[in-house]
Structure 1
Amino acid sequence: MLFKNGYFFQAGIGILANAFLLIFHIFTIHQVHRPRPIDIVTCHLASVHIVMLLTALLILSEDMFKLLNFPNELICKLLFYVNRVTRNLSISNTCLLSITQVITISPRSFCLSRFKQKLTHYIAIAFFCFWSLNLSSNSHMIIYTVAHPNRTNLLNVIKYCSLSTMNSIIMALFLSLSLFQNIFFVGIMLLSSMYMVIFLCSHHKKSEYLHSMRISPRISPAQRATCTVLVLVSFFVIMYCVDLIISSFSAVLQKYDPIVLDIQRLMGNIYAVVSPLVLISSDKRIIGILQKLMEMIIVLSS
């Protein structure tokens, strides 16, 4: 019960933060003639996290199944499938966010700089590819998710939904494909992070030079955005490694221990909760709006 309450509290904060971030960027994209590519990716990432957290909440909401008076297999399949797809989309979109920032800050001499002019067009293509890839690669969840908790050859995940045990060869195939896909995206994140670190170091040297010349250096928006993306990518990689260790342990044993599963749920959703808070706190536009709202509230209350 303690884990469950913490999980609902965590998901509630994540949904509210992502919803606020999504609404802000929708208005921003609507008002600006040429929206920033990073705003488009952030908007999509926030919407993916909202769906992921909502499906995770519905999976744990036993009251929904009780109202139906029977375990609905279609609901189990749909919730598990959508949740898995959005989790993988979170990985691919975070990777796209890092690549977008690298292209944005790259000089003309860099090989990826030629994508700057049509970056929004390439982002739309990337969205289509990510959705197609994840919808197809996670289709096995529709087959192996069942709602018959009384059978003995199942891996119980929640009270009303379970996973059928797979053939060892099929399970190894799906695990290998999923692991390869995730390692590919994480590898690109690490490479892009290395480039962003080099970019920040070079700007730091320039700032030291300006300071020695008694010129007050200022942190540019590009530097601030790069730092934010770098923090998000680093945090995601750490959370992904922890989640991967727990998931691999459960998959190898083919046993879902309730406590281990609760810890995995909490750890698996931390990124979806923390990422919008980091993006909100690092965006001067949002901070300015929040400050104005606070001033209005103080004036009205007084």
Structure 2
Amino acid sequence: MIKINELSHKIKIINTLYFEAAIGLSGNSFLLLFQVLKFIRGQRPRLTDPPISLLALIHILMLVVMSLVATDMFMPGKRWSDSTCKSVLFLHRYFRSLSLCATSLLSILQAITLSPRSSRLAKFKYKSPYHMLGCLLVLSIFYSSISSPFTTHITATPNLTSPGFTYITQSCCLLPMHYSFWNTFYTLLTLTDVIFVGLMAISSAYMVTFLYRHKKQSQFLHSTNRSPTSSPEHRATRTILCLMSFFVVMYTLNSILSYLRYPSNDPIFYFIVILEGHSYATVSPFLVLSTEKQIIHIFKCYGRTVNI
């Protein structure tokens, strides 16, 4: 009877996580499709369009991998092999790191978009948006090189339990690591994350300052025709600021929960960690789409083209 109740409890947990993944996959797929249709129509891409598209793709893959991890964590089934454990858990960490890089890049590019012509940042406005993706490629290689040594310590759960192992899912566990290795790995990841979050904070502060000055100038000139509210550029900036704020809050909370995760064996705690850790990937596409006034127009035009 206890096992039946426990299984029913885990089914509710996994269904909730699947529901979160379904919402996130739908939102990110719609955002990615919208960006593709803009490209097909020949619209000139904004500086922030490529990272937005890439962020949507990263979140789609992240949510798919999260569903796999959650299934192996909460539902009984066939155990994964050693190579599957290494691959899935590496991708889970890798996509999380790429999400941080892409979000930081998006914040910096939006700050560049707002910069006046006299600013030193203005020269980057005339760069092709796709050149900026090269930075993300370099960063992805960097994160891969950091995560690769960690992946070698991931293995399939042995048949006999051992107090030296850290169990991640039902199929996968973490081998004991030397104290110096763990400290080096954790320090590198933390330092890199702090740098990107810091860049995000600096660019966000720049955008807030710019919007504040623009509002003051508008009030001084008594301009009602071009207010910050009516400008698509300013609407997009405010949305990206909301995106950055939401990301920093969720990322900080997830880092704290992840640190507390290992001493806990409560499935509810693991459920909260996973649910909160992927809330940004679920909510972010809807925040971005909220500023796109031409969504309906583009899909109508595309529908007419298909019918013809």
TM-score, length basis structure 1: 0.87
Comparing 52-61 and 232-241, the one that deviates more: 52-61
The reply on whether 1:12 has 2:12 as its aligned counterpart is no
Aligned to 1:108: 117
Comparing 93-102 and 161-170, the one that deviates more: 161-170
Matched ranges for 1:80-229 at <5 A? 80-150=89-159, 151-152=161-162, 153-210=164-221, 212=222, 215=225, 217=227, 219-229=230-240
C-alpha distance in 1 between matches for 2:184 and 2:22: 35
Identity over aligned pairs, percent: 35
Seen in structure 2, the aligned counterparts of structure 1 residues 15 and 215 have a Cα distance that, compared at 3 Å, is closer
| Unaligned ranges ≥5, structure 2 | 1-9
User: Which SS does the other structure have where 1:108 is aligned?
Assistant: coil
Aligned to 1:23: 33
Q: What is the CA-CA distance between 1:265 and the residue it aligns to?
A: 0.6
Do 2:47 and 2:125's aligned partners in 1 also have CA atoms closer than 8 Å? no
Q: Which amino acid aligns with 1:163?
A: L
| Unaligned ranges ≥5, structure 1 | 297-302
The reply on whether 1:232 has 2:232 as its aligned counterpart is no
Equivalent pairs counted in the alignment come to: 288
Aligned to 1:299: none
1:6-45 per-residue CA deviation (whole Å, 9 max, x = no partner) reads: 1111111001110111111122123326311211110000
User: Which SS does the other structure have where 2:126 is aligned?
Assistant: coil
Aligned to 1:300: none
The reply on whether 1:264 has 2:252 as its aligned counterpart is no
Q: Which amino acid aligns with 1:39?
A: D
Aligned to 2:52: 42
Q: Which amino acid aligns with 2:195?
A: F
Q: What is the CA-CA distance between 1:207 and the residue it aligns to?
A: 2.9
User: Which SS does the other structure have where 2:166 is aligned?
Assistant: strand
Do 1:29 and 1:39's aligned partners in 2 also have CA atoms closer than 8 Å? no
1:44-98 per-residue CA deviation (whole Å, 9 max, x = no partner) reads: 00000011110111122349x977x553121111111111100000001000000
Q: What is the CA-CA distance between 1:229 and the residue it aligns to?
A: 0.8
TM-align CA RMSD:
2.4
User: Which SS does the other structure have where 2:174 is aligned?
Assistant: strand
Q: What is the CA-CA distance between 1:216 and the residue it aligns to?
A: 6.3
Aligned to 1:283: 292
User: Which SS does the other structure have where 1:32 is aligned?
Assistant: coil
Q: What is the CA-CA distance between 1:248 and the residue it aligns to?
A: 2.1
Seen in structure 2, the aligned counterparts of structure 1 residues 286 and 33 have a Cα distance that, compared at 3 Å, is closer
Q: What is the CA-CA distance between 1:220 and the residue it aligns to?
A: 1.1
Q: What is the CA-CA distance between 1:289 and the residue it aligns to?
A: 5.3
Comparing 201-210 and 73-82, the one that deviates more: 201-210
Q: Which amino acid aligns with 1:144?
A: H
Seen in structure 2, the aligned counterparts of structure 1 residues 19 and 215 have a Cα distance that, compared at 3 Å, is closer
Q: Which runs of 4+ in 1 moved over 6 A?
A: none
C-alpha distance in 1 between matches for 2:239 and 2:189: 27
User: Which SS does the other structure have where 1:282 is aligned?
Assistant: coil
Seen in structure 2, the aligned counterparts of structure 1 residues 277 and 258 have a Cα distance that, compared at 3 Å, is same
The reply on whether 1:250 has 2:261 as its aligned counterpart is yes
Do 2:37 and 2:298's aligned partners in 1 also have CA atoms closer than 8 Å? no
